[in-house]
Structure 1
Amino acid sequence: MRSIGKILSSTRALWPSYLAIVVSSVLITATSLVMPFIISGATDEVVSVVKTGANPSGHVATIMWFAVALLVADLANTAISNIGGYIGDVTAVRLRRILSTRYFEKLLTLPQSYFDRELTGRIINRLSRNISETTQFLNSFANNFLPMLLTTFAVLVISAIYSWPLALLLLIVFPVFMYLTTLTSKKWQVLEGEKNSQFDIAGGRFAEVVGQIRVVKSFGQERRELTSFDERYASTVATTREQSRYWHLMDGARRGALNVIFFGVYSIIFVQTVEGHFSIGDMVLLIQLVNMARQPVMMMSYLIDSGQRAVAGSRDYFRVLDERPEREGLDLLGAADTAPGATIDAARARAAACTGSVIEFDHASFGYDADRDVLKDITLAVERGERVAFVGESGGGKTTLISLLLGLYTVHDGHLRVFGRDTAETPLDELRSDFGVVFQDASLFSGTIRENIAYAHPEATHEEIRAAAERANADVFIRQFPDGYDTTIGERGLKLSGGQKQRIAVARAMLKDAPILILDEATSALDTKSERLVQAGLDELMEGRTSLIIAHRLSTIGAVDRIVTLRDGRIDEVGPPAELATSGGIYAELLALQASGSKRDKKRLKAYDIAG
């Protein structure tokens, strides 16, 4: 339960609510305990009248006062229970908000390498399952079990006043139950972990299939995906059978032991009443108190079951929170009030103040794995306003260079500087504000066209958004939609054509207006007409801006200032297109392959990630 305690201690803002829950639990306990005493007094009064044969009319008022007192205690218990329940419900949702936001914030600060090794579905499941199970357990504990625990403690004290053997037997109940539960818990949690792993894998695959349903249908793999998905859940059924069988066998042993102990408790009450140690009212009182103590014990199986799920979930939660962020001290919530426009203005100011090279790779090396470098000893300087294209075999390090510039990874050896500042020491929000990016895949979000264009500049006016769209050749088609810029485009922009999505992506980069532009060539998958429109927008975007281009079509890089060719993670050649076209290197080879019509040469082109 240490991880549950860690959650409670880390949510200090909720301590007033926790305190209110404890106070309400104490009051609920007090009103619950009053009622058996009232019933006991009424019982003794009735027994006295019956036993002595006294005139009932003289005792009606007294009996009614007992009834009124019982009503008041009942009403107070009802009111306080609901007030406490309300506080508990709201506190649980506030707790879920804190935990979920903190989890999301942590994910946003984690390095790209974390997402490279984790399934998307598993990351999502931690939010939907682990956090919800933890908050549900705490809510149930606050609303139900805490008042019962307090009641049980009070019952033990009162029972000890009446009969110490009775209190001793009741006291034995809890350690016996907890001991038997401890024997159960260890194996149960192992099986729960196995089950959750299968759920996570199935959930991850589910997310992938839904996200790429067109690919699944196009290749006719619906049956295979469904079978694989069902097999994951089938394995959880087998695990649950073993888990549940073990749990209920142990639960039977636990409850059987309790039944024997409570047999002794009731025997003591009945025998001592017969022997005259207790009055009938005392007997009624003690039976009610014992039942009040019995209820939380019987509920303990449910509480421990949900508690174990919560413990497992909270451990996964803190395992993520213990991951090292891509930059220590990065506080997204703390920086939430910084206006995006001000960040871009600061980037432009840095660009204006820079007197040297805009980008410098200084003997930089990097590898995703410790034993293999993808980029080796890269030395390259990019000057202000220069257009530089990167060409090389697929997997040769072109995209990795861009990832390093964006701070998604950090060089292992050497240095990488942007505007004279080492990227390893530059705050990530400042580093990334220096760049505008147009990906090969437009990478749009669900929502409206307006929201997607203004993604990096959400406070932009309609006029600014429309001006960016016009420059990207997107305004005409946008205004043809009934809702114009407020048109909802669906997940990843599925309601738009490829060319439309790319023009919105270009408009998004234009509106950001960052001093350095990165193009993971955005026209390689488009038809000729769409390519012309998008390329016109890209030309407009690159005007007067330092631009880096990952080349997928040789026809689009003929006008760059320099081409950088990469071979086996090293820079092979650097120079203007005209010079490299006759050097006999990679670029010259690609031009020759493109001019050839043979299938073999076209296949060789694809190895360089170049469209024929």
Structure 2
Amino acid sequence: MSEQPKTSAAPARLPGGNRRPAGGPPWANAGMPAEKSMTFWPSARRLIHRLRPYRMALLSVVALGVASVGLSVYVPKILGQATDIIFSGVIGRRLPTGSTQEQAVDGLRAAGNDNLADMLARMDVTPGAGVDFTALSTILAWAVVLFVLSSVLMWAQGWILAGVVQRSMYELRAEVEAKLHRLPLPYFDNQPRGELLSRVTNDIDNVAQTLQQTLSQLLTSLLTVIGVIVMMFWISPLLALIALIAVPLSMIVTQQIAKRSQKQFIAQWTHTGTLNAHIEEAFTGHELVKVFGRQKEVEATFAARNAALYDASFGAQFVSGIIMPSMFFIGNLSYVAVAVVGGLRITSGAMSLGDVQAFIQYSRQFTQPLTQVASMANLLQSGVASAERVFELLDAAEQSPEPAAREAAPTRGRVAFEGVDFRYQADTPLIEDLSLVAEPGQTVAIVGPTGAGKTTLVNLIMRFYELDGGRITLDGVDVTELRRDELRSKIGMVLQDAWLFGGTIRENIRYGRPDATEEEIRAAATATYVDRFVHSLPDGYDTVIDSEGGNVSAGEKQLITIARAFLADPALLILDEATSSVDTRTEVLVQQAMAALRTGRTSFVIAHRLSTIRDADLILVMEDGRIVEQGSHSQLLAAGGAYRRLYDAQFTSAAVDLDESGAAAVMAR
């Protein structure tokens, strides 16, 4: 098997300030932020900044919000007038018919009822007359019209805002997708797939939900607060000052609670990514988990990470949830104070009953948006925490910049390593001062023990990793002077781990060259012996296989990947244990096909089974990142060095062991 690549990233910091040991497994830092977490406001500002391209739409949202809130805020004042009409009608009916309002007020003062006289003096009363239902119905009709207009404007505001939010999230997903293609391979080596998927899916979805639910409500709540304050000062400055005492108290309480819950929300989404990474890993290797009987360990790990997510989520939701009852408590205190002082003002004649009723409605309207803002604090913090994780991905260091496009030139396939140095970890050299030349049309086989640097060598040709020293040239041109897509378009690669995507067999083969004709696909399939088994499948070349290739065998899956490379017709061919999953008979056939495929092409073949590379033009024997031997099969056998030891280990030691075990068995008898 080919060696697994190691990350070149700095060791990740674990909780408590410890670092993951260099060279440790990539999943050892699963779900942990790579950098110190950003604070709430910088992340929130950056998130809002993404909405700047939709300034005009957002301005229309604000305008509609102002109009809608303005209409809804004015309605209580109108309803207060309706209350005054009803109250005046009730009082007027009890006064003697034919008398005037002034006579009624003088009579109350003469009787010593000064407070009642002051209250009656501020009212518009016709003694002996009842409720003016004409005036009352007109006022109520206006109230209904204003409510309807306010609702329509609010609906239009929500429709525009939904388009803005979803469009910005569409662009964010596209930006993340493009970013993933610009990230170097070491980044993915150091990121569990489940954790990365959680950032790309769960976190972006959470950001979208947060913006959708909070932007409209925040805007409406803030406008409502402003409008209500204006109306309250219009009606009674004294009562307005009493009601406003709740604002600083609410802000202090919200700030103190939010400061504690933000860390909990970051931990919640971090643990979500960690749990997703574990689930993805466990179910990808579900068969191996069962074969080795590690279900209990997997369940224990899941339980531990699930418990960590539970603790973080509970802490985040509980702490942020305290805001709501705290705001209710402060709002109720303000409501009681307004009701008491307002009642005293009515009895003293300083305010009408309708004004006090309207003011009480305004005090409720004033505390309600504050409560809504407080209740959205957990959503905001959760969404900003998710946005922070997405921004960490967007801020990750990218591949070195691409050079300018060059005029395409015919590729001969001469590959030269000139004093190449490379290391995954800064303090652990892997390849040092390596030089070799593969001439056009040569087949270069690379052998050696696991971890010797064989796969690393071909990864460097593909520029999956950047060199620490020296250079690699293709036809005399430094590969760093070629665009990555231009370089890789000249290379065909078949890996030990065959990769297929969800689709038909035909589509998987055509992946090597999208413009290939049906005849060319059939020819590639026939040459690589895919055609031999395809006709036994239910739908032939139209048979749909899943992304794991579960409905074809491992060997058949490998053959499909070889057919894909065959169809691509590359100038440079890289085979990394390409026949490791096929049976011996099929391997012979595939070797014949690969021999035809390699004709006229420079080929690099990584192999453990030495029988597959006997006809190679040049065999490189690698140990500890160095080429210790090179030559043809016969030359290396005759030299009696490292290659000879590998050859003997495969073809003679098994027989010796068998003889020794057999002799031991005989002696035991």
TM-score, normalized by length of structure 2? 0.82
In 2 relative to 1, CA 568–58 (structure 1 residues): closer, same or farther, beyond 3 Å? closer
Equivalent position to 2:257, from 173, 178, 184: 184
AA partner of residue 544 (structure 1)? G
- The Cα shift of 1:600 comes to 8.3
Q: C-alpha deviations, 1:145-201, integer Å up to 9, x for none?
A: 311210111111221222223333443433322222222233322233333333322
In 2 relative to 1, CA 536–67 (structure 1 residues): closer, same or farther, beyond 3 Å? farther
- The Cα shift of 1:255 comes to 4.2
Structure 1 stretch displaced more, 282-291 or 359-368: 282-291
Pair 1:230-2:306 in alignment:
no
Matches within 5 A, 1:45-84: 45-53=85-93, 59-84=132-157
In 2 relative to 1, CA 308–442 (structure 1 residues): closer, same or farther, beyond 3 Å? same
- The Cα shift of 1:517 comes to 0.8
Q: C-alpha deviations, 1:28-84, integer Å up to 9, x for none?
A: 212212322332232223333333236989943333322322222222222222222
Cα distance in structure 1, aligned partners of 2:146 and 2:193: 53
Structure 1 stretch displaced more, 73-82 or 303-312: 73-82
SS in 2 for 1:407: coil
AA partner of residue 18 (structure 1)? L
Cα distance in structure 2, aligned partners of 1:315 and 1:210: 28
Aligned to 1:494: 550
Aligned to 1:116: 189
- The Cα shift of 1:242 comes to 4.8
Structure 1 stretch displaced more, 591-600 or 272-281: 591-600
Cα distance in structure 1, aligned partners of 2:656 and 2:336: 88
Structure 1 stretch displaced more, 44-53 or 300-309: 44-53
Cα distance in structure 1, aligned partners of 2:351 and 2:514: 76
Cα distance in structure 1, aligned partners of 2:340 and 2:517: 81
In 2 relative to 1, CA 456–174 (structure 1 residues): closer, same or farther, beyond 3 Å? farther
Aligned to 2:514: 458
RMSD: 2.7
Pair 1:391-2:447 in alignment:
yes
Cα distance in structure 2, aligned partners of 1:547 and 1:45: 96
Structure 1 stretch displaced more, 468-477 or 489-498: 468-477
CA contact (8 A) 1:156 1:170 kept: no
Q: C-alpha deviations, 1:104-159, integer Å up to 9, x for none?
A: 22122111111111111111111233222222111112232311210111111221
Aligned to 1:157: 230
Q: C-alpha deviations, 1:478-515, integer Å up to 9, x for none?
A: 34433333322112211111221112101211222221
Aligned to 2:11: none
SS in 2 for 1:194: helix
Aligned to 2:486: 430
AA partner of residue 609 (structure 2)? R
CA contact (8 A) 2:556 2:582 kept: no
Structure 1 stretch displaced more, 18-27 or 520-529: 18-27
Pair 1:442-2:515 in alignment:
no
CA contact (8 A) 1:121 1:204 kept: yes
Q: C-alpha deviations, 1:335-380, integer Å up to 9, x for none?
A: xxxxxxxx9xx99x5344x5xx621111001000001111111101
AA partner of residue 271 (structure 1)? L
AA partner of residue 21 (structure 1)? V
Equivalent position to 2:200, from 102, 124, 127: 127
Pair 1:296-2:336 in alignment:
no
- The Cα shift of 1:305 comes to 0.8
- The Cα shift of 1:456 comes to 4.2
Structure 1 stretch displaced more, 114-123 or 230-239: 230-239
Cα distance in structure 2, aligned partners of 1:306 and 1:169: 30
SS in 1 for 2:432: strand
Equivalent position to 2:391, from 309, 312, 318: 318
- The Cα shift of 1:210 comes to 1.3
CA contact (8 A) 2:558 2:581 kept: no
AA partner of residue 380 (structure 2)? G
Q: Structure 2 unaligned runs (5+)?
A: 1-40, 94-125, 659-669
AA partner of residue 465 (structure 2)? Y
Structure 1 stretch displaced more, 485-494 or 13-22: 13-22
Pair 1:37-2:77 in alignment:
yes
CA contact (8 A) 2:204 2:387 kept: yes
In 2 relative to 1, CA 434–89 (structure 1 residues): closer, same or farther, beyond 3 Å? same
Pair 1:99-2:172 in alignment:
yes
AA partner of residue 22 (structure 1)? V
Cα distance in structure 1, aligned partners of 2:82 and 2:398: 66
SS in 2 for 1:582: helix
Q: Structure 1 unaligned runs (5+)?
A: 332-342, 603-612
Structure having the higher Rg: 2
Aligned to 1:546: 602
AA partner of residue 407 (structure 1)? R
CA contact (8 A) 1:499 1:534 kept: no
- The Cα shift of 1:11 comes to 4.2
AA partner of residue 268 (structure 2)? K
SS in 2 for 1:288: helix
Pair 1:366-2:422 in alignment:
yes
Cα distance in structure 2, aligned partners of 1:399 and 1:305: 48
Matches within 5 A, 1:128-277: 128-243=201-316, 246-247=319-320, 252-277=325-350
CA contact (8 A) 1:327 1:428 kept: no
SS in 2 for 1:491: coil
Identical pairs, percent: 32
Structure 1 stretch displaced more, 384-393 or 589-598: 589-598
In 2 relative to 1, CA 589–311 (structure 1 residues): closer, same or farther, beyond 3 Å? same
Equivalent position to 1:380, from 416, 436, 441: 436
Cα distance in structure 1, aligned partners of 2:67 and 2:540: 59
Task: Say how many residue pairs are matched.
Answer: 585
CA contact (8 A) 2:321 2:378 kept: no
Aligned to 1:334: none
In 2 relative to 1, CA 393–267 (structure 1 residues): closer, same or farther, beyond 3 Å? same
Aligned to 1:609: none
Instruction: Answer 1 or 2: higher relative contact order, Cα 8 Å, separation at least 6.
Output: 2
- The Cα shift of 1:247 comes to 4.5
Cα distance in structure 1, aligned partners of 2:269 and 2:134: 62
CA contact (8 A) 1:506 1:537 kept: no
Equivalent position to 1:350, from 401, 409, 413: 409
